[in-house]
């Protein structure tokens, strides 16, 4: 019977560098998306006749429409960035084979 004597397989693998930058960027992109939702909701509320949440910024219907469009653009930008950073976080760091080489041959 083999004895391990403190053998640790994790020591054989090279350490991966920390990816805290990508995590921080993904969190910042999620904040952009959340801010876009809030901005679009404030503009939509002003368009529907509710009291303005942003003071004089969305008193007119044109200003409210600009807020809705800016909020939707910020939401789209934040979601696109978040998806890009999440894709980079999930990508393996080592070499990988091409997708067509992994297919089963019949």
pLDDT in tens, 4-51: 667 666 666 666 666 788 899 999 999 999 999 999 998 888 888 766
CA–CA separation, 81 vs 7, rounded Å?
A: 42
DSSP assigned state of 94: S
8 Å CB contact between 79 and 34: no
Return the biggest CA–CA distance within the chain.
Answer: 82
pLDDT in tens, 7-18: 666 666 666 666
| CA neighbor of 61 nearest in space, from 72, 73, 45 | 45
CA–CA separation, 36 vs 67, rounded Å?
A: 9
Residue 106 CA, chain-centre distance (Å), reads 40
């Amino acid at each position: 019977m083999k004895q391990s004597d403190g053998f640790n397989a994790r020591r054989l693998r090279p350490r991966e560098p920390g990816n805290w930058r990508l995590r921080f960027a993904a969190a910042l992109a999620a904040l952009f998306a959340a801010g876009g939702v809030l901005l679009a909701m404030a503009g939509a509320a002003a368009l529907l006749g509710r009291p303005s949440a942003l003071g004089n910024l969305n008193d007119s219907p044109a200003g409210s429409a600009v807020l809705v469009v800016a909020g939707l653009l910020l939401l789209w930008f934040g979601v696109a960035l978040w998806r890009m950073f999440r894709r980079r976080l999930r990508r393996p760091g080592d070499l990988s084979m091409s997708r067509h080489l992994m297919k089963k041959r019949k």
